[in-house]
Amino acid sequence: MDAVLEMTNIQKKFGTGHTEVDALTDVNFSINAGQFVSIVGPSGSGKSTFLTIAGGLQRQTSGEILINHTDISKLNEKKRTQIRFDQLGFILQSSNLIPFLKVSEQFALVEKLAKKSLQERVDMLLKSLDIENLKAKYPKELSGGERQRVAIARALCNDPSVILADEPTASLDSKHAFEVVKILAREAHDQNKAIIMVTHDERMTKWSDQVYQIEDGRLSLAE
């Protein structure tokens, strides 16, 4: 199968001289459309660095990263921003929702920025995530679980190839956390999306197609 995100020999160093730190060492990773992959590691292991590089938010020291066969580290900031908008979706720890927009307006903003109608897709997502009744509510009026479901819909609405989820269950109790992870797995399979979830909670990995662990900046497949 075709890899939508492919990372080869990624190194990331911070600082110089005796303060130099290897955040990522020799990372090789690839994910196909329709796959749900978890990356587990304790804090400080390099999870966040991995996500920021995969998401084109910072550049690796060496190595290659391809999103749909384009090496994003070679693009300028403007093009990377455009790729993040068109091809990547982010689901963040607490929420990536805008506090002063109602749920329906969160999607309206994406429509305005994308300059196209996403109405059908948004309706389908809201229905599939069972959050149609939340349209007129502000994020602060939602429960943690509802908020993450809206965030998932927000990440998916522009039809990206890759979804990067940064500890999406961190602020949820385990019941809602499991529910969110199950939704992520389902959306990956149903919508043929590549979803990468980074978490420190190993219980969350049982619905993943593949589980990696990351420790001291080295990524390996978990047994």
Partner 1 sequence: MFLAWKEMRYAKLRYALIIGIMILVAYVVFMLSGLASGLANGHKKAISDWGSSTIVLSADSNKVASASVLKRADLNRAKTANTNKAAVGLFATAAQKSGSKTKTNVAIFGAQKRSFVVPKIIKGRLYQNAHEIIISKNLSDEGYHIGDQIKLASMTHKFKIVGITKATTYSVEPVIYLNLDAFTTLKYGSQPFSSASQKPISLIAIKHKTPKQVTVTTGTSDTKVAKMSTATLIQNLPGFSAEKITLNTMIDFLFIVVAAIVGIFLYVMTLQKTVLFGVLKAQGVRTRYLVGTIVSQSFIVGAAGVILAFILGYLTSLILPEAMPFTIDGMQWLSDGLILILVSIVGGLFSIRTVTKVDPINAIGGE
Which residues are near partner 1 by CB under 8 A? 47-48, 51-52, 55, 57-58, 78, 81-86, 88-90, 92-94, 96, 98-101, 105, 108-109, 112-113, 138, 166
Q: Tell me if 214 sits within 8 A of 40, measured CB to CB.
A: yes
- Rounded CA-CA distance 196/51 in Å is 9
- Number of neighbours of residue 149 by Cβ within 10 angstroms: 24
Strands 162-166 and 88-91: parallel
Tell me which residue has tokens 């966040």: 48
Pick between residue 116 and residue 189 the one whose CB is nearest to partner 1. Answer: 116
- Rounded CA-CA distance 158/118 in Å is 7
> Residue 17 is which amino acid?
G
